[in-house]
Amino acid sequence: MEKTLSIVKPDGVRKGLIGEVIRRFENAGLRVVALRRVMLGKREAEAFYEVHKEKGFYQSLTDFMSSGPVVAMVLEGEDAIQRTRQIMGATNPKDADPGTIRADFAEEVEQNIVHGSDSPENAAIEIAFFFSQREIQ
Ligand code: IDP
Ligand code: MG
Protein backbone atom coordinates (compact mmCIF):
# COMPACT_ATOMS: atom_id res chain seq x y z
CA MET A 1 0.00 0.00 0.00
CA GLU A 2 1.36 3.38 -1.03
CA LYS A 3 1.17 6.51 1.14
CA THR A 4 1.04 10.16 0.10
CA LEU A 5 0.81 13.54 1.82
CA SER A 6 -2.07 15.84 0.98
CA ILE A 7 -2.82 19.32 2.33
CA VAL A 8 -6.02 21.34 2.27
CA LYS A 9 -4.36 24.73 1.69
CA PRO A 10 -5.40 27.94 3.53
CA ASP A 11 -7.87 28.90 0.76
CA GLY A 12 -9.54 25.49 1.00
CA VAL A 13 -9.88 25.83 4.79
CA ARG A 14 -11.24 29.42 4.42
CA LYS A 15 -13.80 28.22 1.88
CA GLY A 16 -15.02 25.45 4.19
CA LEU A 17 -13.77 22.64 1.94
CA ILE A 18 -12.00 20.39 4.47
CA GLY A 19 -14.82 17.86 4.50
CA GLU A 20 -15.39 18.04 0.73
CA VAL A 21 -11.72 17.31 -0.03
CA ILE A 22 -11.55 14.40 2.42
CA ARG A 23 -14.90 13.06 1.10
CA ARG A 24 -13.51 12.93 -2.46
CA PHE A 25 -10.40 11.05 -1.36
CA GLU A 26 -12.43 8.60 0.76
CA ASN A 27 -14.98 8.09 -2.03
CA ALA A 28 -12.08 7.03 -4.25
CA GLY A 29 -11.12 4.36 -1.72
CA LEU A 30 -8.16 6.17 -0.17
CA ARG A 31 -7.84 5.83 3.61
CA VAL A 32 -6.97 8.78 5.88
CA VAL A 33 -4.27 7.30 8.13
CA ALA A 34 -3.11 10.59 9.75
CA LEU A 35 -4.77 14.01 10.01
CA ARG A 36 -3.86 17.41 11.53
CA ARG A 37 -5.00 21.04 11.33
CA VAL A 38 -1.99 23.31 11.74
CA MET A 39 -0.79 26.84 11.02
CA LEU A 40 2.53 26.88 9.15
CA GLY A 41 4.93 29.70 9.91
CA LYS A 42 6.59 31.47 6.98
CA ARG A 43 9.86 29.58 7.61
CA GLU A 44 8.05 26.23 7.69
CA ALA A 45 6.23 27.03 4.44
CA GLU A 46 9.60 27.94 2.89
CA ALA A 47 11.09 24.64 4.06
CA PHE A 48 8.12 22.63 2.76
CA TYR A 49 8.37 24.24 -0.70
CA GLU A 50 12.19 24.39 -0.80
CA VAL A 51 12.21 22.61 -4.22
CA HIS A 52 10.57 25.76 -5.65
CA LYS A 53 12.91 28.32 -4.04
CA GLU A 54 14.31 29.51 -7.38
CA LYS A 55 10.84 30.12 -8.84
CA GLY A 56 9.39 33.60 -9.17
CA PHE A 57 6.30 32.59 -7.19
CA TYR A 58 8.20 31.23 -4.14
CA GLN A 59 7.72 34.28 -1.88
CA SER A 60 4.08 34.68 -2.80
CA LEU A 61 3.42 30.94 -2.47
CA THR A 62 5.02 30.70 0.98
CA ASP A 63 3.18 33.88 2.14
CA PHE A 64 -0.05 32.23 1.01
CA MET A 65 0.74 28.87 2.64
CA SER A 66 1.42 30.62 5.97
CA SER A 67 -1.65 32.92 5.71
CA GLY A 68 -4.00 30.62 7.64
CA PRO A 69 -4.40 27.11 8.99
CA VAL A 70 -4.01 24.10 6.72
CA VAL A 71 -5.16 20.51 7.12
CA ALA A 72 -2.43 17.96 6.44
CA MET A 73 -3.22 14.29 5.98
CA VAL A 74 -1.61 11.02 5.00
CA LEU A 75 -3.62 9.02 2.47
CA GLU A 76 -3.03 5.32 1.93
CA GLY A 77 -4.08 3.06 -0.90
CA GLU A 78 -3.01 1.42 -4.13
CA ASP A 79 -1.33 4.03 -6.36
CA ALA A 80 -2.17 6.65 -3.71
CA ILE A 81 0.24 9.25 -5.14
CA GLN A 82 -1.08 9.13 -8.71
CA ARG A 83 -4.72 8.76 -7.69
CA THR A 84 -4.56 11.67 -5.26
CA ARG A 85 -3.13 13.87 -8.00
CA GLN A 86 -5.86 12.77 -10.43
CA ILE A 87 -8.55 13.69 -7.91
CA MET A 88 -6.84 17.07 -7.33
CA GLY A 89 -6.52 17.97 -11.03
CA ALA A 90 -3.81 19.95 -12.82
CA THR A 91 -1.85 22.63 -10.93
CA ASN A 92 -3.56 25.41 -12.90
CA PRO A 93 -7.33 25.05 -12.48
CA LYS A 94 -7.74 26.31 -16.06
CA ASP A 95 -6.07 23.07 -17.21
CA ALA A 96 -7.74 20.79 -14.66
CA ASP A 97 -10.21 18.13 -15.85
CA PRO A 98 -13.88 18.74 -14.99
CA GLY A 99 -14.87 17.08 -11.74
CA THR A 100 -11.45 17.47 -10.12
CA ILE A 101 -11.07 19.44 -6.88
CA ARG A 102 -9.07 22.24 -8.52
CA ALA A 103 -11.45 22.55 -11.50
CA ASP A 104 -14.46 22.68 -9.19
CA PHE A 105 -13.16 25.03 -6.46
CA ALA A 106 -10.00 26.95 -7.50
CA GLU A 107 -9.93 30.17 -9.53
CA GLU A 108 -6.17 30.62 -9.94
CA VAL A 109 -2.89 28.71 -10.11
CA GLU A 110 -1.46 29.70 -6.71
CA GLN A 111 -4.54 29.39 -4.51
CA ASN A 112 -5.51 25.95 -5.80
CA ILE A 113 -7.09 24.42 -2.69
CA VAL A 114 -5.03 21.27 -2.32
CA HIS A 115 -1.53 19.78 -2.34
CA GLY A 116 -0.46 16.21 -3.13
CA SER A 117 3.01 14.65 -3.19
CA ASP A 118 4.39 13.99 -6.68
CA SER A 119 6.69 10.97 -6.13
CA PRO A 120 7.44 8.25 -3.55
CA GLU A 121 10.63 10.11 -2.53
CA ASN A 122 8.80 13.39 -1.94
CA ALA A 123 5.87 11.63 -0.25
CA ALA A 124 8.26 10.16 2.35
CA ILE A 125 9.88 13.57 2.96
CA GLU A 126 6.55 15.42 3.13
CA ILE A 127 4.89 12.84 5.42
CA ALA A 128 7.84 13.13 7.83
CA PHE A 129 7.53 16.95 7.70
CA PHE A 130 4.08 16.77 9.36
CA PHE A 131 3.79 13.43 11.16
CA SER A 132 5.75 11.11 13.40
CA GLN A 133 5.61 7.37 12.75
CA ARG A 134 3.23 6.71 15.70
CA GLU A 135 0.67 9.21 14.34
CA ILE A 136 0.27 7.18 11.13
CA GLN A 137 -2.07 4.23 11.63
P1 IDP B 1 1.50 20.91 -7.74
O2 IDP B 1 0.95 21.50 -6.46
O3 IDP B 1 0.39 20.60 -8.72
O4 IDP B 1 2.43 19.77 -7.51
P5 IDP B 1 3.88 22.53 -8.29
O6 IDP B 1 4.41 22.82 -9.64
O7 IDP B 1 4.62 21.57 -7.42
O8 IDP B 1 2.34 22.07 -8.45
O9 IDP B 1 3.75 23.93 -7.55
C10 IDP B 1 3.51 23.97 -6.15
C11 IDP B 1 2.47 25.02 -5.88
O12 IDP B 1 2.99 26.30 -6.25
C13 IDP B 1 1.19 24.91 -6.72
O14 IDP B 1 0.25 23.98 -6.19
C15 IDP B 1 0.67 26.32 -6.66
O16 IDP B 1 0.05 26.60 -5.40
C17 IDP B 1 1.96 27.12 -6.76
N18 IDP B 1 2.31 27.46 -8.16
C19 IDP B 1 2.74 26.63 -9.13
N20 IDP B 1 2.97 27.28 -10.29
C21 IDP B 1 2.67 28.58 -10.01
C22 IDP B 1 2.70 29.78 -10.82
O23 IDP B 1 3.05 29.77 -12.01
N24 IDP B 1 2.32 30.94 -10.20
C25 IDP B 1 1.94 30.97 -8.88
N26 IDP B 1 1.90 29.88 -8.10
C27 IDP B 1 2.25 28.69 -8.66
MG1 MG C 1 4.28 19.74 -6.57
Ligand nearest to the CA of 64: 1
Domain boundaries, the chain: 2-38+68-132
Assess whether 115 carries a catalytic annotation.
yes
Q: How far is the CA of 28 from the centre of ligand 2 (A)?
A: 21
Q: What is the pLDDT of residues 69-114, one digit of tens each?
A: 999 999 999 999 999 999 999 999 999 999 999 999 999 999 999 9
**Rounded to 10 degrees, what is the CA torsion of 100, 21, 113, 49?**
-110
The model's confidence at residue 128, banded by pLDDT at 50, 70 and 90, is very high
Does domain 2-38+68-132 match CATH 3.20.20.10? no
Q: Which of 64, 86, 81 is nearest to 123 (CA)?
A: 81
The whole-model pTM stands at: 0.98
Residue type, 130: F
Backbone angles phi, psi at 12, to 5 degrees: -65, -40
41-71 pLDDT, tens per residue?
Answer: 999 999 999 999 999 999 999 999 999 999 9
